[in-house]
Amino acid sequence: MAPQRSIPQITGSGPKRVTVVEVGPRDGLQNERVRVPTATKVQFIEALADAGLKRIEATSFVLPEAVPQLTDAEAVFAQLHRQPGVRYSALTPNMRGLERAEAANVREIAVFTAATDTFVRHNIRMTLEGSLEHLAPVVSRARADGVGVRGYVSTVFGCPYEGAVQPEQGIAVAERLFAMGVQEVSIGDTIGVATPGDVVRWLRAAEGRLPFDQLALHFHDTRGTALANVLVGLEFGIRTFDSTAGGVGGCPFAPGASGNLATEDLLYTLHGLGYETGVDLNKIMLASNIIANCLDHMLPSRVYQAARVTSCLPIGRS
């Protein structure tokens, strides 16, 4: 029998500070059908920073044809009034992306690959191994230039092409990213299939092999399990979680499905458990309002919806 874990990590003794990494302007908007005007994106990002978020992934410097929603990356960074102490990052797939990001004075990038070869081939037309080889010089150059580097591993818990994914696959990829000089790895449930049991199995397998204080968990709420998965992460000592304001986004592989875990829902739960995030939930809902007006659907965040139903003003735990 595996040793039983008890609740105290979540509600009691562990560190009570959690970092929320807001990925709405990038992961969220890249999965929305509508194209949001640059000025609205900038307003959205500025409102997110006003709410107290210290880490915001603002856009992608990718091939414009690959992600038409984010072709205005240069303009977003040019127009953004950056607040001191806030880390505004951008996704970069390759050296060209890094060069564009550096030219826009971006001080933190995110590189990405996946736990499964077929997903990498579909996403960036490379093998998994090829993508790691390709990323190594990008990471080295960024680090040499003093640019921070986060790495994403997608499809850690399930792949739209390969199905179930063993913990070992994602762990091995994360190890390679750390060995390259990536400072934080975000473990992605890209298609939102993970259950708490899967997360327990994954984190048990990763314990002792990956530095948990440099891991982030990135859940999509496609099947309603994202928050339950966060609780498992907290129990294992993970203190960094990715989310999108309003739950903006979706899943390109499951039309109509909800997207990333919503920042509001994450904050409501964390604050209720006594965690400090430094983020004002009501102000996040004001940021979500900015983007809600542009989208062709209701924002999926449950906390956001509840606030709208029960009052014209945002209410809830702040």
Catalytic residues: 251
CB of 70 vs ligand COA, minimal distance in Å: 8
DSSP of 177-215: HHHHT-SEEEEEETTS---HHHHHHHHHHHBTTB-GGGE
Q: Interface mask (CB under 5 A) for Zn ion, residues 20-49, using x and -?
A: -------x----------------------
Residue 157 interacts with, from ligand COA, Zn ion, none (CB under 5-8 Å by kind): none
Taking the complex as a whole, how short is the minimal distance between the CB of residue 60 and ligand COA, in angstroms? 5
Among residues 27 and 46, whose Cβ is nearest to Zn ion? 27
Task: Give how many residues touch ligand COA by CB under 6 A.
Answer: 16
Residue 97 binds which of Zn ion, ligand COA, none (CB < 5-8 A, kind-dependent): ligand COA
Residue 194: what are its φ and ψ, rounded to 5°?
A: -65, 140
Smallest gap from residue 134 Cβ to ligand COA (A): 9
- Radius of gyration over alpha carbons of the chain, in Å? 18
Q: Which among 56, 10, 28, 4 has a CA at the least distance from the CA of 229?
A: 10
- Shortest distance (Å) from residue 40 CB to ligand COA: 21
Nearest residue (CB) to Zn ion, 15 versus 252:
252
The piece of 40-48, 56-64, 221-229, 290-298 that touches ligand COA (CB under 6 A) is 56-64
Residue 5 binding result from ligand COA, Zn ion, none, given CB thresholds of 5 to 8 Å by partner type: none
What is the spatial distance between Cα 318 and Cα 315, in angstroms, rounded to a whole number?
8
d(CA 234, CA 114): 23
Which residue's beta carbon is nearest to the bound ligand COA?
Answer: 62
In the region spanning residues 142 to 181, those forming contacts with ligand COA, defined by CB under 6 A, are 154
Provide CB contacts within 8 A for 179, sequence distance 6+: none
The DSSP-derived string for 10-24 is HHSSS--B-EEEE-I
Both tokens of residue 148? Answer: 């921070």
DSSP assignment string, 231-298: HHHHHTT--EEEEBGGG----TTSTT---BPBHHHHHHHHHHTT-B-S--HHHHHHHHHHHHTTSSS-
Q: Which does 264 bind (CB under 5 to 8 A by kind): Zn ion, ligand COA, none?
A: none
Size of the site for Zn ion (CB under 5 A): 1
User: Min. distance of Cβ 55 from ligand COA in angstroms?
Assistant: 18
User: Using CA of residue 242, residue 20, residue 240, residue 172, what is the dihedral sign?
Assistant: positive
Choose from Zn ion, ligand COA, none: what does 63 bind? Cβ within 5-8 Å by kind.
ligand COA
209 binds, among ligand COA, Zn ion, none (CB under 5 to 8 A by kind): none
Q: How far is the CB of 5 from Zn ion (least distance, A)?
A: 27
Q: What are the backbone dihedrals phi and psi of residue 308, each rounded to the nearest 5 degrees, phi first?
A: -70, -35
Q: Which is nearer to Zn ion, 117 or 221 (CB)?
A: 221
Of the candidates 255, 257, 198, the residue with the CA atom closest to the CA atom of residue 224: 257
Name which position in 10, 18, 51, 124 contacts ligand COA (CB under 6 A).
124
d(CA 242, CA 29): 14
- Segment 59-118, which members bind ligand COA (CB under 6 A)? 60-63, 66-67, 93-94, 96-97, 100, 112
* Chain-centre distance for alpha carbon 301: 15
Question: By the criterion CB under 6 A, which residues form the site for ligand COA?
Answer: 60-63, 66-67, 93-94, 96-97, 100, 112, 123-125, 154
Question: By the criterion CB under 5 A, which residues form the site for Zn ion?
Answer: 27
